[in-house]
Amino acid sequence: MKNKTVRKLFNFSLLRRIFGYAAPYKRQFFLSVALAVLLAVVAPIRPYLIQVTVDNYIANSLIKMVVYITVLQIVLLLVESAMRFCFSYLTSWLGQAVIKDLRMDVYGKVIRQNLRFFDRTPIGTLTTRTINDIEAINQIFSEGLISIIADLLMIISTLCVMLFTDWKLTLISLSVFPILIVATYIFKESVNKSFFRVRNAIASLNAFVQEHLTGIFVVQAFAAEKRERRKFNVINHDLRKANIDAIFAYSVFYPVVEIVSALAIGFLVWYGSYQVLHFNGSFGVIIGFVLYINMLFRPLRTLADKFNTLQMGMVAGERVFHVLDSEDYMQDVGTFSPRTMAGGIRFEHVWFAYKEEQFVLRDISFQVNPGETVAIVGHTGSGKTTIISILNRLYEISKGNILIDERDIRTYTLDGLRSHLGVVLQDVFLFSGSIMENITLRNPKVSRDQVEEAAKMIGLHDFITQLPGGYDFNVMERGGMLSMGQRQLISFIRALLYNPSILVLDEATSSIDTESELLIQEATDKLIKNRTAIVIAHRLSTISKADQIIVLDKGEIKEAGTHESLLRKEGFYHRLYHMQFKKESEKV
């Protein structure tokens, strides 16, 4: 069934789309095709000259002509070698140029995808699409279609010369070709199935390794190494078996080709000798035909493999274009991109579901005036973080409207909207690189002086300067060289540096030390001053200072008001307050 799917993907519309990426390099493309045609014309000349030399010049002792022909042969050999070099280099160059452009398109599309796309697509699979599958498309150019055309032209031109020279000897030599055709078909189908399984196994392997290395702390903390190793072994075994099946097919096919080639030469020598003995043939023709047969079998030996390469490249192309054609990305159709924002926010009957009608937010309505701080509280899973995601247009809402400064957020350009929103999340992600690069996100417009000034405001400048290399200290992957609190403070510097009109803050401090918590508290106060702030609250101090508190439960607003007014109601917030914040209240 899988193989049937692969065959269906072999279509000219897909191939035409892949070769559409060669349009900017059409000069190199047409030059490589022209070289393929010239090679097909030039290649049979040398065997023909040998045939003429043996029959006309060596047989008649014309030594001078033998020398001339030898010199001509050397010149032809050098010309043909130069042409083959240019052909090989051009096709490989063309493939690399095409996949460079294609990889940029795929990566550009991936990073613009809706977060829902990443929720259901393993990162390892996307890595495979961006790297392995695109590399397979490269082989369409370097070892696929153009090489197949060149080989077919070579075969056709050689057969034409053979038929022109002696059609009977040609038919005798090719009498074993049906065996080769059957063997080639069986080989092609077998390798095709194996390659398809290899691609699937590689995608699964990449996804598994990426996920488990990212979550290595959990694997080791729960002593799950042996179990995960057994799971990895199953996937690895599937990959090994698929590769071994392909190796077995190659190991059988190549000896079969050699046997068929030997049989063809055997029939040629037998019939050619018979003709010579009865004065109806020549030694030159026999020698020439031996060379012609080698010229036929050399491309035939690899032709089936190249067809598989072409087909698997097209399978990879179909997968890559599936990513490129995905419509699950945030539509950037807005045109409004203001220089400044007042920061007023209004949710009007907002509904949102990550999956179909399974709503996470239900009929959410509230308003935040410019400069106000709103705290959102609720049990885990109540929808607090979802509000952050939809405000920043990381997800598209299902129903309702979200307005900023009385304009629907969909009328803003994505850059125009997000450049005025600063987000500090509980789970801070730092890239492998220096502290400076993580704060500026490699924005060349941000100077070191600006970064240092922001760090001083947060109170982290002294800590950074004490690190080896200071602001050039490499935090390593995911910021592994820093504590959770330090990573969060760096994200505060990042947010402050871009001076957002609206700050969205998930201020979790439950798993950090007291000193870092105090620094984060001070940083929070500085960040929310004179700007609109939406805070997912975890601390009493932030909640009590908020202009408005919104209480969420199961995606619905249960209560809204100030800290004192909600406590006086003795309702949902009152119970939540005493459950979650009683200990902190006692400490205060």
What confidence tens digit (pLDDT) does each residue in 365-414 have? 999 999 888 988 887 778 888 888 888 888 888 899 999 999 999 999 98
CA pair distance 173, 154, nearest whole angstrom: 17
CA pair distance 216, 388, nearest whole angstrom: 28
Contact in structure between 563 and 549 (CB atoms under 8 Å):
yes
Q: Is the pLDDT of residue 553 over 60?
A: yes
Confidence of residue 509 (pLDDT cuts 50, 70, 90): low
Give yes or no: residues 248 and 189 share one domain.
yes
Q: What is the CATH number of the domain that holds 175?
A: 1.20.1560.10
Crossing angle between the packed helical segments 225-277 and 177-214, to the nearest 10 degrees: 160
Residue 335, domain member (yes or no)? no
Give yes or no: residues 93 and 200 share one domain.
yes
Give yes or no: residues 387 and 266 share one domain.
no
What confidence tens digit (pLDDT) does each residue in 167-202 have? 888 888 888 888 888 887 788 778 777 777 887 788
pTM for the model: 0.70
Strand partners, 550: 376, 560
Give yes or no: residues 316 and 350 share one domain.
no
How open is the CA angle 78-82-83, to the nearest 5 degrees? 115
* Cβ-based neighbour number of residue 466 at 10 Å: 9
Residue 334, domain member (yes or no)? no
Give yes or no: residues 241 and 350 share one domain.
no
What confidence tens digit (pLDDT) does each residue in 246-286 have? 788 878 887 888 888 888 888 888 887 777 776 676 777 88
- Sheet strand arrangement including 373-378: 421-424, 502-506, 532-536, 373-378, 548-553, 556-561
Contact in structure between 404 and 344 (CB atoms under 8 Å):
yes
Length of the chain (residues): 588
Residue 7, domain member (yes or no)? no
CA pair distance 247, 72, nearest whole angstrom: 42
CA pair distance 461, 439, nearest whole angstrom: 13
User: What is the predicted pLDDT for the residue at 209?
Assistant: 83
User: What is the predicted pLDDT for the residue at 401?
Assistant: 93
User: What is the predicted pLDDT for the residue at 588?
Assistant: 47
Q: What is the mean pLDDT of the chain?
A: 81
Residue 103, domain member (yes or no)? yes
Give yes or no: residues 449 and 564 share one domain.
yes
Strand partners, 348: 401
Give yes or no: residues 210 and 242 share one domain.
yes
Contact in structure between 490 and 425 (CB atoms under 8 Å):
no
What confidence tens digit (pLDDT) does each residue in 70-87 have? 888 888 889 989 998 998
Residue 19, domain member (yes or no)? yes
CA pair distance 215, 228, nearest whole angstrom: 11
What confidence tens digit (pLDDT) does each residue in 442-458 have? 888 888 888 888 888 77
What confidence tens digit (pLDDT) does each residue in 457-496 have? 777 788 888 888 888 888 877 677 777 777 877 887 887 7
Residue 119: alpha-carbon gap to chain centroid: 16
User: What is the predicted pLDDT for the residue at 367?
Assistant: 92
Structural domain count, the chain: 2
Q: What is the CATH number of the domain that holds 485?
A: 3.40.50.300
Tell me how far CA of residue 484 lies from CA of 29, 91, 423, 434, 468, in angstroms: 53, 50, 17, 16, 19
Residue 553, domain member (yes or no)? yes
Give yes or no: residues 374 and 275 share one domain.
no
Q: What is the DSSP letter of 350?
A: E
Q: Is the pLDDT of residue 8 over 80?
A: no
Which amino acid makes up residue 309? T
- The phi, psi pair for 564, rounded to 5°, reads -70, -45
Contact in structure between 489 and 480 (CB atoms under 8 Å):
no
Give yes or no: residues 226 and 349 share one domain.
no
Confidence of residue 217 (pLDDT cuts 50, 70, 90): low
Give yes or no: residues 169 and 92 share one domain.
yes
User: What is the predicted pLDDT for the residue at 564?
Assistant: 87
Which domain, by its residues, includes 262?
14-324
Residue 529: burial class (beta carbons within 10 Å; 0-12, 13-18, 19+): exposed
User: What is the predicted pLDDT for the residue at 207?
Assistant: 79
Residue 565, domain member (yes or no)? yes
What confidence tens digit (pLDDT) does each residue in 313-366 have? 887 888 888 888 877 777 778 888 888 888 899 999 999 988 777 888 999 999
Crossing angle between the packed helical segments 63-110 and 145-165, to the nearest 10 degrees: 160
Give yes or no: residues 276 and 194 share one domain.
yes
Farthest-apart Cα atoms in the chain, separation: 121
User: What is the predicted pLDDT for the residue at 433?
Assistant: 83
CA pair distance 228, 213, nearest whole angstrom: 11
Count, in order, helices (H) and strands (E) of the chain: 25, 10
E-only strand ranges, 338-490: 345-355, 358-368, 373-378, 399-404, 407-408, 421-424
* Three-state secondary structure of 399-417: EEEEEECCEEHHHECHHHH
Residue 4, domain member (yes or no)? no
User: What is the predicted pLDDT for the residue at 382?
Assistant: 83
Residue 284 has which token pair? 């030159």
